[in-house]
């Protein structure tokens, strides 16, 4: 990386102010992400199964899972036998 770009990056990092609220929300998201990914290590799960194992509310699991799906950490699998919920699984690395 060139010296000029490095200085620009350092300058931006010094001048950018991140509020404590944003830092706390980021920490909470990372905590939720780790919980959900840990649960999915043992196999494919539906949203209610993930919520049950993590003791998190369904809306929190749904939002976090959809974010993880959007950014490629998890993927949608098959639908359950009742045609009610999809299974989610860890995305396989290629």
For 8-32, the pLDDT digits (tens) are 878 787 888 888 999 999 999 999 9
- pLDDT(88) > 70: yes
Q: How many angstroms from the chain centroid is the CA of residue 75?
A: 12
- pLDDT given at position 14: 81
Spatial contact of 32 and 56, defined as CB atoms under 8 Å apart: yes
The CATH number assigned to the domain with range 20-90 reads: 1.10.10.10
- pLDDT(4) > 80: no
**Bigger pLDDT: 93 vs 35:** 35
Please, where are the H alpha helices in 1-94?
Answer: 3-15, 20-40, 47-54, 58-70
């Amino acid at each position: 990386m060139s010296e000029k770009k490095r200085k620009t990056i350092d300058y931006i990092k010094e001048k950018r102010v991140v509020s404590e609220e944003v830092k706390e929300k980021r920490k909470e998201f990372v905590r939720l992400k780790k919980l959900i990914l840990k649960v999915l290590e043992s196999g494919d799960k539906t949203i209610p199964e993930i919520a049950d194992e993590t003791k998190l509310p369904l809306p929190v699991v749904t939002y976090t899972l959809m974010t993880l799906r959007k950014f490629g950490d998890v993927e949608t699998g098959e639908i359950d036998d009742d045609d009610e919920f999809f299974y989610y699984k860890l995305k396989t690395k290629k």
